[in-house]
Structure 1
Amino acid sequence: MARSSDLSLALMTLLPCLLLCTSASVELDCDNYVREACGVTRYPDLCIHTLSSFSSSAKRSPSLWARAGVSVTTGAAKSLAQYLAKLENTGAMRGRSNLAALSDCVECFQDAVDNLHRSLGVLRQLHGPSFYSQMDDVTTWLSAALTDEDTCLDGFEGQRGRQVKVLRDKVTNVSCITSNALALVHKLATTGPQTLAS
């Protein structure tokens, strides 16, 4: 009886330690997965920050990381497109050149969001026989989205003011996230269709 009680006490003492170790091990694995995936990107710290929540599901799957990258980019671009439209609709931006640049920027981001949606749709339906043509399409659309974002920034070249700086910072952030997604898509394209099952 005393032996059973000692065993129970030992298990109750060890169980929290085992759970803590297992939890820490899983967290370390997840951290390694996102660091490994983001190693191919131009902005790895931003990549880790924006994609770390996908670690436990994407693990070492290039197709899941590419999809996660484009999904996060789509959300960020949509959010910024709404912000830009609100700026335009409320007339909060002053100056004729700023208003013209803002109007162009709204149009650019609508186009970027469309390209990102197309890319995400294809990434969700990748299959072996048409893998490379699908990857060409996704790469083209992501590159176009990045160009749209850069074009938006070009309109504010030389402009000053707090709102312009905030807008530039927001657009630059989305451009960096898009660049990271494009790098993850390139990684998928180079690994080939055999990685789709993983």
Structure 2
Amino acid sequence: MEAGSLLVCVLIATLILEFSAHINSSSATRPVPSNTNTQYIRTSCSNTTYPRLCYHSLSIYAREIKTNPKLLVNTALSITLKATKSTSRLMKRMSRIHGLKPREAAAVVDCVEVVGDSVYELQRSIAEMAHVRGSNFYQVMADVQTWVSAVLTDDDTCMDGFAGDPMNGNVKTLARRHIVKISHLTSNALALINSYASSHTN
């Protein structure tokens, strides 16, 4: 293996360990809620695309959420935003690694841009949720649905840059691991948003 390729592998491995430790530690510090606090989360998550991930990510916040669908949506969006910010930082660090192949470097740069867009769209969604009122409920929810759907498109756009066997390697593996995670979180958040929007009555 060439020295440049070895250096890239070492740097990628370091990034994997750092971000895995960050993600694992974020949920380990919270107390485990009682069964009565988690049943609402379990039921709500059963209608998402990735119910296990949904329940695992949200159940530790069950005491705060209780049975409030708006708080459920806000929490799901906040969790997704936190993961997306971490992925954005990761992509920026990857873009500064020397020794990437030209196509890898171009794909990472594209991901930096679109994941940055995702952070902005999620921030807008969370801010807009704070303004939900009876009179503007459907307009606000339509805007939030549009922005969160755009995040899913951003995730697809990022991974499109790594398409094809020639792109296989540590860079693609690391990018895919984190993009898939935020894509699944986003999909679950959108499902909860859709459920909240459809269940609302004037």
What is the RMSD computed on CA atoms of the aligned residues?
1.5
**TM-score, normalization by structure 1:** 0.81
Partner of 2:84: 77
Cα distance between partner residues in 1 of 2:201 and 2:142: 13
Segments of structure 1 that go 5 or more residues without pairing to the other structure are 1-23
Partner of 2:119: 113
Shift of 1:59: 2.0
Partner of 1:146: 152
Cα distance between partner residues in 2 of 1:87 and 1:162: 11
- Please tell me whether the aligned partners of residues 67 and 120 of structure 1 are also in contact (alpha carbons under 8 angstroms): yes
> Which one has the largest radius of gyration?
1
Partner of 1:129: 135
Partner of 1:192: 200
Q: Aligned letter for 2:56?
A: H
Cα distance between partner residues in 1 of 2:182 and 2:175: 11
Do structure 1's residue 172 and structure 2's residue 180 form an aligned pair? yes
Partner of 1:31: 38
Shift of 1:91: 3.1
- Please tell me whether the aligned partners of residues 41 and 62 of structure 2 are also in contact (alpha carbons under 8 angstroms): yes
Cα distance between partner residues in 1 of 2:92 and 2:107: 12
Shift of 1:125: 2.1
Per-residue CA deviations over 1:52-98 (Å, capped at 9, x if unaligned) read: 12211212211111111111001110110001001112336x11111
- Please tell me whether the aligned partners of residues 131 and 193 of structure 1 are also in contact (alpha carbons under 8 angstroms): no
Percent identity between the two aligned chains:
36
Cα distance between partner residues in 2 of 1:193 and 1:175: 30
Aligned residues: 169
Segments of structure 2 that go 5 or more residues without pairing to the other structure are 1-31
Cα distance between partner residues in 1 of 2:111 and 2:152: 13
Q: Aligned letter for 1:57?
A: E
Cα distance between partner residues in 2 of 1:54 and 1:191: 22
Cα distance between partner residues in 1 of 2:47 and 2:131: 23
Partner of 2:8: none
Cα distance between partner residues in 1 of 2:35 and 2:109: 45
Do structure 1's residue 41 and structure 2's residue 27 form an aligned pair? no
Q: Aligned letter for 2:96?
A: N
SS at match of 1:40: coil
Q: Aligned letter for 2:168?
A: R
Q: Aligned letter for 1:146?
A: L
Cα distance between partner residues in 2 of 1:90 and 1:141: 31
Change beyond 3 A, Cα 1:125–1:91:
farther
Shift of 1:28: 1.1
- Please tell me whether the aligned partners of residues 146 and 175 of structure 1 are also in contact (alpha carbons under 8 angstroms): yes
**Moved beyond 3 Å, runs of 4+:** none
Partner of 2:110: 104
Shift of 1:193: 5.5
